[in-house]
Amino acid sequence: MDLTRLQYFAAVADAGSFSRAAAALHLTQPSLSRQVQLLETEVGQRLLERHGRGVAPTEAGTALLAHARAIFDLAERARVDMQERQRNPRGRLTIALPPRVAHVLTADLVERFHARFPDAGITIMEGLSLRVREWLIAGRADLAVMFDPAPSPQMHLEVLVREPLVLVSKRPLPEKLRLADLVRHRLVMPSAPNALRRLLDEHAGPRGHQLQIVAEVDSVQTVLTIVERGVADAVLPAGVPWQSGKVGKLHVAAIQAPVIRNKLTLAVPVARSATRISQFGAELLRELVAQHYRMGP
């Protein structure tokens, strides 16, 4: 049923006159009369009766008028709802993060997201960067943050921060040391294919440096606990001691010759159209990473 014709019919019924309705609708009377006739043909019944003072709905017209008012009310509610959704979307944003990043960012992410979009939902998924990459490509996540991801035509990658790697120890350390000096340290490190471990191996292996990996522990927080007990040292991004609150309890030395930096990267799926929620989520991730992570050149 043509909604415009239904509106014309309701206008005539409410005005009680074709001429008054035509003037209100800014139409000619013959044009308005023709539209009502087409509606009567569509429903197969007379909808209006003429009398000396104008027109009045027939029994069928009265019944249709009740349906029309319900339709108009529903259409208005739909319009208002769409406007409200434009101002206050009600979708859900799923962000995938490595555990170390999730530990630092999640509380701020959830708080600031709901302050901006109180009717929308947010899901934070945690996993190693390789798993995070799989989730994003499979469509399970809308946005992701990863350490040193491999390029992919399925993702747009944006480096948010480059953190220099440092040696962290319970024992005193020089302010700086060379990568070659790490061979004298017993190390606790995440196991492969952790992005940090891969990055260290890619620099140490080709230079012939045989690192003493005495323990493999995937949780960075647990690695720090082992270091704090003096069991072994660890190579970690410079921001880890600072974020963990252990600055002053542990000694930190910058690694040089060469300087090694990991890349914390925002990943957005190429095939998925951006929404207001996902655009805000991406901008929020940029702001929070800049706030919580030390920038490198």
pLDDT of residue 86: 66
Q: Which of 227, 258, 233 is nearest to 164 (CA)?
A: 258
Burial (CB < 10 A; 0-12, 13-18, 19+), residue 71, is middle
Which CATH superfamily, name and number, covers 92-160+263-292? Periplasmic binding protein-like II (3.40.190.10)
Q: Which of 287, 286, 185 is nearest to 236 (CA)?
A: 185
pLDDT of residue 85: 63
Kindly tell me if the per-residue pLDDT of 115 is higher than 90: yes
Query: What does the mean pLDDT of the chain come to?
Result: 90
In words, the CATH class of domain 163-261 is alpha beta
Kindly tell me if the per-residue pLDDT of 248 is higher than 60: yes
Count of residues in the chain: 297
pLDDT digits (tens, 9 = 90+) for 122-172: 999 999 888 999 999 999 999 999 999 988 999 999 999 999 999 999 999
Please say whether the beta carbons of 259 and 176 come within 8 A.
no
Please say whether the beta carbons of 31 and 11 come within 8 A.
no
pLDDT of residue 16: 94
More confident residue, 112 or 87: 112
pLDDT of residue 215: 97
pLDDT of residue 73: 83
Q: Which of 161, 124, 163 is nearest to 144 (CA)?
A: 124
Do the domains at 3-87 and 163-261 have one common CATH topology? no
Banded model confidence at residue 187, pLDDT cuts 50, 70, 90: very high
pLDDT of residue 241: 81
Banded model confidence at residue 102, pLDDT cuts 50, 70, 90: very high
> What is the mean predicted confidence (pLDDT) over 77-98?
78
Kindly tell me if the per-residue pLDDT of 228 is higher than 50: yes
* Domain edges within the chain: 3-87, 92-160+263-292, 163-261
Kindly tell me if the per-residue pLDDT of 52 is higher than 90: no
Name the architecture of domain 3-87.
Orthogonal Bundle (1.10)
Answer whether the bond into residue 30 is a cis peptide, omega within 30°: no
- CA-to-CA separations, 17 to 33, 35, 43, in angstroms, rounded: 10, 14, 21
With tokens 């891969």, the residue in question is 198
Query: What would the DSSP string read from start to end of 204-267?
Result: HGGGT---EEEEE---HHHHHHHHHTTS-BEEEETHHHHHHT-BTTBEEEEEESS--EEEEEEE
> What is the mean predicted confidence (pLDDT) over 15-25?
93
SS3 content of the chain, % helix, strand, coil (to 5): 50, 25, 25
- CA-to-CA separations, 86 to 114, 122, 285, in angstroms, rounded: 16, 17, 22
pLDDT of residue 65: 93
pLDDT of residue 296: 42
Kindly tell me if the per-residue pLDDT of 297 is higher than 60: no
Q: Which of 75, 65, 86 is nearest to 14 (CA)?
A: 65
More confident residue, 296 or 109: 109
pTM above 0.85, yes or no: no
pLDDT of residue 184: 96
